[in-house]
A = this chain, B = another copy of it.
Amino acid sequence: MVDYRGIFEDAVDALRQEKRYRVFADIERVAGRFPTAIYRDQSDNQREITIWCSNDYLGMGQHPKVIAAMQETAAKLGVGAGGTRNISGTNRPLVELERSLADLHRKESALVFTSGFVSNEAAIATIARLMPDCIIFSDQLNHASMIQGVRQSGMEKKIFRHNDVAHLRELLMAVERKRPKLIAFESVYSMDGDTAPIKAIADLAEEFGALTYVDEVHAVGMYGARGGGIAEREGLMERIDIIEGTLAKGFGVMGGYIAANRAIVDAVRSYAPEFIFTTALPPALCAAARASIEHLKVSDGERRSHQRQVQLTKQMLAEAGLPVMPSETHIVPLMVGDARLVKAASDLLLSKHNIYIQPINYPTVPRGTERLRITPTPLHTDEMVAALRQALVSVWAELELPRERPQTELSAGDLMLTPAGG
């Protein structure tokens, strides 16, 4: 007989041996006090910590308007949607949320999913499948969910070197003009904090007649005059066919979405099994997300404070001689380069300094580029930044971690498919 338990235990032991077995920290956020939270260790002892790795980038998850929208809608409409979108689940706040998202990106239509992962998987796979003989051009560092969408479609794919427009052009030139083409990329790459050359990609798409699909998950709410993302900031939203985003990061709630023209959205709505066969997002969540989006359309204060604290953090850590990776955005990665050491650094920060920064290891980043990924928010005070610097300097000394500024360019031949983001 097969030893099933043994098979699964061995699979997990393999991760332990590679020092990349993940233990999830048990955290209780305190509304009104974020980024402060309560941490519970394995023995259920509690203490206060400061979170420095949250993807609630602007702290909108505790914004009073957003909390109130959830509470009021739960009181009025109840807690769940009660069905799939087709089977009684299309609730009023969800209809309003989709209108708010279409307006945010100046598109005809928008469609909400339960997560950013599902929106990428469902939208890419469905769009590609509906185009006969389609070929997908996918950035080498695209997120795991985009890779899954590409695979799921079953269509031919070409991987272009990360942000390499010349390589993308080469690949496009090699394909017949009449074939449908989809170029899929991210505006902000979440583990390095670099951004895509959106204009150059849109120019290529126009030249070669390709559809463009951009994942703005790490940008919506945070960039652009109304929080529409990098494409809005650069005046390029109308040159992108499909904008994908999340409600779970800058907007602080949960869920994912696409915004596009009516024909594309209606086709995904009508054909994607991940969408059709899933219970709709609860009204209270939709109302909370919409409150957050609408607030950030008109309020620029969060974005300004965010950028200020990000610059301060980068500067203070760099001045302290820490290996801050060059990043154009709000993501501040510190290279460690070793799975065991990055775990030790994270453990020490938590146990000795009450600072929580999750180690980032394979498969989220390539092996040998393990790192601490720091995400300052508008709610991290200058004092917290100073305490962070002090703690990191102490940990770097105690563990004798490398201080050289890392070389982040990948070699030309390094065309791996690395899923990122978890």
Contacts and interface: CB of A to CB of B under 8 A. Distances in A.
A76 to B, nearest CB: 6
A270 B385 CA distance: 32
A184 to B, nearest CB: 15
Contacts of A26: 90-92, 95
B54 A82 contact: yes
A354 B104 CA distance: 35
Interface in A83-111: 83-92, 95
A422 interface: yes
A246 interface: yes
B92 A34 contact: no
Interface string A8-32: 1101100100000110111111110
Q: Select the residue from A22, A28, A81, A363 with max chain B CB neighbours within 10 A.
A: A81
A284 interface: yes
A247 to B, nearest CB: 8
A391 interface: no
A21 B30 CA distance: 46
Nearest to A145: B277
A26 B96 CA distance: 10
A273 B420 CA distance: 10
A9 B109 CA distance: 14
Contacts of A11: 130, 267, 270-271
Helix, strand, loop or mixed for chain A's interface? mixed
B246 A279 contact: yes
Contact of A253 (B55, B249, B282): B282
Interface in A387-413: none
A284 B283 CA distance: 13
A85 B55 CA distance: 11
Interface in A53-93: 53-56, 60-63, 66-67, 70-71, 74-92
A351 interface: no
A222 interface: no
B70 A8 contact: no
A277 B180 contact: no
B267 A51 contact: no
A115 B114 contact: yes
Contacts of A24: 85-86, 90
Interface of A: 1-2, 4-5, 7-9, 11-12, 15, 21-22, 24-31, 34, 38, 40, 51, 53-56, 60-63, 66-67, 70-71, 74-92, 95, 114-118, 121, 130-132, 143-145, 148, 152, 177-181, 209, 211, 241, 246, 248-249, 252-254, 261, 263-264, 266-267, 269-271, 273-274, 276-279, 281-285, 288, 356, 358, 360, 363-364, 373, 419, 421-422
10 contacts: A1-B177, A8-B264, A8-B267, A53-B88, A54-B87, A66-B79, A84-B421, A86-B422, A121-B274, A246-B279
